[in-house]
Amino acid sequence: MKKIRISPSHASVPEALAPFLAAPDRPVPYRWWTRLSDRWAGRRDRVASRHQPTPEVAEADTPWLRRLIADCNNAVATGRVRTEALVSILDRERATLLGEIDQAKLAIADLTADLSHLDAVPITGDAVGPGEMYSSSEERLRRRRHERNQRSGRLNGLLGAARARLADAHKRVEIIEQERKSHWVVLQERTRVLTEYHQRRAATYTGALENRRSGQFWAVPQLEIPDWARADLGTGGRDGDAVAPILTLTGTN
């Protein structure tokens, strides 16, 4: 499986496409040399084993198997920690955007109220103060209409900008939701494929560990796929994360 050096920039698209595309869409290749090595290890441990034949088939338990299971668990845990870190970056960005959404909504409400109040005030040609006594009523009306239009234009401009900020923030939040769900999809699929790969290796080793001539048989230990990896894709087993991901990877058996 291709390894990628992960950095905070990989939390968001387009940088996140690299780890997304590195996720396996088919079983990890079980190369012949790895299979041969696993079989050799089983035969070696069979020769060194002091276990006596038993009527019941017990589950195989050797240092080699324990190390294999530990390697699988470590790989799964590493992937989980990495995904949690990338998702936390997106969560911080989302929290900032939610704050911007609240501010934009408040600004829209205030500006809308200002415009309503401005429109509710009638425009008259009455003189206000001694300085306006020397101008006609028509001149005062024209001047006040012009001032009203300028004020209304400024408020409408601010209102339009606030609405644009709100729309942009909402759009970015939707993208972040899709990105974070995609990270969970990749982790869950990778975990399933990794576990299946190590399960195949355990089966090869256990088969070689058996001594059929002397009646010694072993049950293959079962590597459990974590519950969160078997949960709905895109959730990582976390409640409230079931939003459609950007991509859904499907593996083959």
pLDDT for residue 65 is more than 90: yes
On the 0-12 / 13-18 / 19+ scale of CB atoms within 10 A, 51 is middle
If you average pLDDT over residues 61-73, what whole number do you get? Answer: 93
Find the range with the poorest average confidence among 94-103, 108-117, 236-245: 236-245
pLDDT for residue 237 is more than 80: no
Helix (H) or strand (E) holding 235: none
Query: Range of 174's domain?
Result: 8-230
Residue 242 lies in a domain: no
Residue 251 lies in a domain: no
Higher pLDDT, 145 or 3: 145
Residue 216 lies in a domain: yes
Residue 124 lies in a domain: yes
Q: What is the mean pLDDT of the chain?
A: 80
Assessment of whether the complete model's pTM goes beyond 0.75:
no
What value does the CA radius of gyration of the chain take, rounded to a whole number of Å? 34
Largest alpha-carbon pair distance within the chain?
A: 122
pLDDT digits (tens, 9 = 90+) for 77-90: 999 998 998 899 99
Helix (H) or strand (E) holding 159: helix 137-209
What pLDDT is recorded for position 252?
31
What pLDDT is recorded for position 5?
59
For the chain, how many structural domains are there in total?
1
CB 241 within 8 A of CB 181: yes
User: For the chain, percent helix, then strand, then coil, each to nearest 5?
Assistant: 65, 0, 30
42 Cα distance to chain centroid: 40
CB 195 within 8 A of CB 221: no
Crossing angle of helices 63-120 and 137-209, in 10° steps, is: 170
Residue 249 lies in a domain: no
Residue 245 lies in a domain: no
Q: Report the percent of the chain where pLDDT is more than 70.
A: 75
If you average pLDDT over residues 65-84, what whole number do you get? Answer: 93
Q: Report the percent of the chain where pLDDT is more than 90.
A: 42
Please state the three-class secondary structure of 38-78 as a single string. Answer: HHHHHHHHHHHCCCCCCCCCEECCCHHHHHHHHHHHHHHHH
